[in-house]
Structure 1
Amino acid sequence: MSIFGESVEVVHGMGEPWTNEIGASMLAQFDFKQSRTSLIQLLQTSVSLMQAAGEGSASSRGVPASQLLLILSDGVFSEDPLSPALQAAVRLARDHHLFVVCVIIDDSKKKHSIFDLRRYTGQGKLLPYMDVFPLPFYLVLRDVTALPQLLAEALRQWFELASATVGRSGGP
């Protein structure tokens, strides 16, 4: 588990045990007060971390392991969603079999929803932000009580995608 903004900091390693105390301690580190939120940095770091974690889990048939990256965020990233550098980072994750799902926490009681945001493109056009959102898979969470159902749906889709990928690769 990591926190990210301008940089990425691992707060709980994948091989470390999980306890209630560790969970509470980690939650205290999430302050959502970063001045910049670099999706490029997050994706590049995640690919490196997941590669290291997945090295021992690749199947004996040579089929690369498919991995799931859940991003909990307000969905607003610093980079231009259409920038070549950001698109390259998204491709890097996909090419390394990393299924990235962004869970956008969008409080419906706020004055401005993620759906109200507009973003200038490199061509000088003003578009709805969600029309140019950089990640192909995302869920918008407006009610925190719906989080378990949303995560279950994300996992279901990941299992379907992973199964289809293994099937095309000649695996089971």
Structure 2
Amino acid sequence: MKKVIPYIASNFKKDKIWMRRTKPSKRQYQVVFAIDNSESMIDNNSGELACEALCLITKALSLLEVGEISVVSFGEKTELLHPLDKPFSDNIGGSILSQLAFKDKQTDVSGMVSFVVQMLSHSRNQSINFSENLQIVFVISDGRFSNREEIRKFIIEAYSQQQLFVFLIIDHPKNSNSILQLQTISYPNGKLTCSPYLDNFPFPYYIILREIKSIPEILADALRQWMEMISSSFL
């Protein structure tokens, strides 16, 4: 996974460095992409950028052959669009994109997290060298959802099984519609309280994306930090 970081940062340029053979890693990386297929992705003009983000990251991972890739969509329900045990290619990527209509009326994030946690746990149990599996989930969404406490419980379960969830928030380009402008309302001790929407976000690891040109640099920096965290905490 470390070789993915400079490759993404270079805007996916093929040079002689990437043509060299490297020693195979003992670790098996399993990467899942969960794409929000709800209609809010259209309302916030996030659907196109979400597809671009998916294409960029899967391209880097598949070209560098760092492990297995799976894709699921979620909205009213979670659907498996590509399983871990099948090779990923450009043709498959195109087929996946054609299945994203962004028409679901609801966004069941807790159901998606539960689905992915179970899928990865099953895959790890089926692996001979299951202790070497490093499992990462990239959630690509506009970040608008409810049921935070239920989601948080599933995230805690995921971390206990060495599964890292990373949330890529596809934000609206206009500041007035940005997720950073959203507020949540609560009533602690019966008193009305407003707080920033992201203050109690159930995903500890997230980044905000607004434009396609910033994706390589932001993801490269984020991956670098997460790899350091995983090395020190999970392994």
Question: Pairwise mapping of residues 156-171 of structure 1 onto structure 2 (< 5 A)?
Answer: 156-166=224-234
Quick one: structure 1 residues 7 and 102, their matched pair in 2 at CA, closer, same or farther if it must change by over 3 Å?
same
Closer, same or farther: CA 166–36 of 1 in aligned 2, 3 Å: closer
Q: Is the 8 A contact 2:175 2:181 kept in 1?
A: no
Question: Would you say how many aligned residue pairs link Structure 1 and Structure 2?
Answer: 161
Which residue, 91, 102, 124 being the options, matches 1:32?
A: 102
Asked if residue 109 in structure 1 is aligned to residue 177 in structure 2, the reply is no
Return the offset for 1:96. 1.3
Amino acid at match of 2:93: G
Give 1:48's match in structure 2, choosing from 118, 127, 130. Answer: 118
Residues in 2 aligned to 1:122 and 1:136: alpha-carbon distance in whole angstroms: 24
Amino acid at match of 2:119: L
Q: What residue identity is the alignment partner of 1:118? A: Q
Q: TM-score, normalised by structure 1?
A: 0.83
Correspondence for 2:154: 89
SS at match of 2:88: coil
User: What does residue 145 of structure 1 align with?
Assistant: 213
Cα distance between partner residues in 2 of 1:132 and 1:166: 24
Structure 1: stretches of 5+ with no match in the other structure: 168-172
Instruction: Give the RMSD, CA atoms, in angstroms.
Output: 2.1
- If asked which structure has higher relative contact order (CA below 8 Å, sep 6+), I would say 2
CA distance in 2, matches of 1:150, 1:128: 23
Structure with more of its chain in helix, by fraction: 2
Q: How far did residue 2 of structure 1 move?
A: 0.3
Whether contact under 8 Å (1:6, 1:37) holds in the other structure is yes
User: Is 2:144 the partner of 1:76?
Assistant: yes
Where in structure 2 are there 5+ consecutive unaligned residues? 1-70
CA shift, 1:109, in A, is 3.2
Q: TM-score normalized by structure 2?
A: 0.62
Q: Deviations over 1:127-152 (max 9, x none)?
A: 21111111100010011122222222
**Which structure has the larger Rg?**
2
Instruction: Report Cα offsets for 1:80-100 as digits up to 9, x if no partner.
Output: x3x3x2221121111111111
> Residues 97 and 111 of structure 1: is their aligned pair in 2 closer, same or farther, counting only changes over 3 Å?
same
- 15-24 vs 110-119, which moves further: 110-119
Q: Where does residue 22 of structure 1 map in the other structure?
A: 92
Whichever residue aligns with residue 28 of structure 1, its letter is S
Contact 1:119 1:126 in 2 (8 A): yes
State how far apart, in whole Å, the 2-side matches of 1:13 and 1:156 are. Answer: 26
CA distance in 1, matches of 2:151, 2:187: 13
Moved more, 133-142 or 29-38: 29-38
